[in-house]
Amino acid sequence: MTSEHVYRPRILVCLAPPHSRSRLVDELTRRYSADYDIVASDTAAGAFDALREASSAAVPVALVLSDDLSEDSTHGSVFRFARHLFPDVRRGLVIEWGSWALPRTAETVLSALASTQAECYVVLPRRSPDEYFHRAITELLYAVERTGEGSTPDATIVGPLSQPRVHEITRYLSRAGIHHRVIGPDSAEGGEIIRSQPTQRAALPVVEVAGGGVLADPSNAELADVFGLTTAVPTEEVQDVAIVGAGPGGLAAAVYAASEGLRTLVLERESIGGQAGSSSLIRNYLGFASGVSGADLSDRAYQQAWAFGARFAHTRNVEGMSVDGDGFRLTVNGNDEVRTRSIIVATGVSYRRLRVPGLDRYVGTSVFYGATAVEAKAQAGRSVLVIGGGNSAGQAALHLARYAASVSLVVRGPNLAASMSNYLIEQLNAAGVAILTERKVVGGVGSDDGLEAVVLRHRVAGDDTTVPASALFITIGAAPHTDWIAEEVLRDPWGYIFTGNDMVVEGGRRAWSRDRPPAPLESSLPGLFAVGDVRRGSVKRVASAVGEGSVVVSSVHAFLAESRAR
């Protein structure tokens, strides 16, 4: 093999039938050989050797395609061994076209997916070019490319990984789909970047942007600006609808509102996608048989809304609101005001801080609220705990299991059946994630270097257990972002917004005095609507938030028509 090929990622094919293997390799070679090395084997033993050789040579394996699920006593299956050596590899189970109708094939596919051996099944090409085949392949390769491994970074962050702000920047850039890397300030390259600052300040972290420019301890708004994400808000033009929050519900509302001709502004204080944006893989979202990452789904929705004419103000936090005649005024950080005829609140929720002795000092370095690929990759070879029993906790635990030596899921209840999708429970069991039920965190133990263990208390027996943990991921205690909303908006004691008939039942005529009934998803303040997790009684699922975001636009139209008629 020539030196120019050494660092190219590989696509490994493991198929026994010569004709099938030849068809697959020929089609891959014609389309991908300029950027990938295509390696083929007719046996699992040969595939094991190829994987070991790639690992020893530090050559990434991006994709494994095989029809062999047989388990070796030493390595497991080809798919399992590939994931062990290359945590970011994507794996496709190869089947013949039409064979999904055979019970044996269907059983094999379902087993491979449920046991997390493969991300999807791939149908052998039937012609050349076979674009149906290539769509599956390019989606798998794109998923690898989004991890940033082997890609030329758009940003280089210089700073110690123990600094919370380094973590915050990497998290923000990851959610924004910006490839980046982190290097230490004591490294030769890091020192050179620090010295290149115009002011010669040693403020860390420092971010070097590809193509030129160095930012010293930049804010998220500065990062957004430098990467072409708009942060300005229109202060002169009145909006038809202002959408506060760009999670799944807010993005769906933006797509439908803008596509139907409404002047639409979306304000997002953090990253596009909300909590869903940090999900490593959503397997039960309609239309994505192989699953889709929250970041990818959010980016697609963002691009779709933007193409319809929706305007976005990134890293802009709404701090207050007031009623202004027939419309509203929103106060935005930076002393800006937005005038709008209607408002859709889609701010979602955030995880509440655990007030537990010994944990606060590690927030941002060993203790995280939520889990993204950034934190997951840093846990290689470590023991980690995930706190929570919902789908977000299950997705985080599965993603962490790719990298960590062991993952335990800590659940307050007696089981997961009431709070988590069945497919996730099956995959957690298959991935070897330990489920610790009826327990809560009561303490943390660590040193200046980081968290070392967590103290768990059994909620029934009352006994304490100290469990080794280098990192803790918390996905419980959600709190809505509604402290900026006018007092006229009826909320429950936790801050969730009542809407529609639920609002009338709760508040009666005091909450709703108009002659007409409230529109679906309308709050006690006419013209202000709520969708997604921030709404009282919502179903905590991505698809539910998207559905509410699309449905609410018809209520907005009705309100705007009513306002014009007055």
What are the pLDDT digits (tens) for 72-105? 878 889 999 999 999 999 999 999 999 989 999 9
Task: Enter the pTM of the model.
Answer: 0.87
Distances (CA, A) of 311 to 252, 257, 357: 14, 11, 44
356 within 8 A of 410, measured Cβ to Cβ: no
Neighbouring C-beta atoms of residue 400, cutoff 10 Å: 26
- pLDDT at residue 3, rounded to an integer: 39
Strand order in the sheet with 155-158: 180-183, 155-158, 206-209, 214-216
Which structure tokens are listed for 298? 């959010």
- Sequence-distant (6+) residues with CB within 8 A of 199 are 216
User: Looking at residue 151, what is its pLDDT?
Assistant: 64
Three-point CA angle 32, 36, 42, nearest 5°: 90
The ranges of the chain with pLDDT < 50 are 1-6
How far apart CA 255 and CA 416 sit, in angstroms, is: 34
Q: How far apart are CA 363 and CA 367, in angstroms?
A: 4
- Alpha carbons 29 and 40: distance in angstroms, whole number: 11
Quickly list DSSP for 50-106.
Answer: HHHHHHHTT--EEEEEES--PPBTTTBSHHHHHHHH-TT-EEEEEE-TTGGGSHHHH
Distance CA 141, CA 137 (A): 6
Question: 3-state class of 550 per DSSP?
Answer: helix
According to the model, what pLDDT value does residue 2 have?
39
pLDDT at position 565:
77
pLDDT of residue 334: 81
Residue 431 contacts residue 398 (beta carbons within 8 Å): yes
Task: Write out the two tokens for 351.
Answer: 């995880």
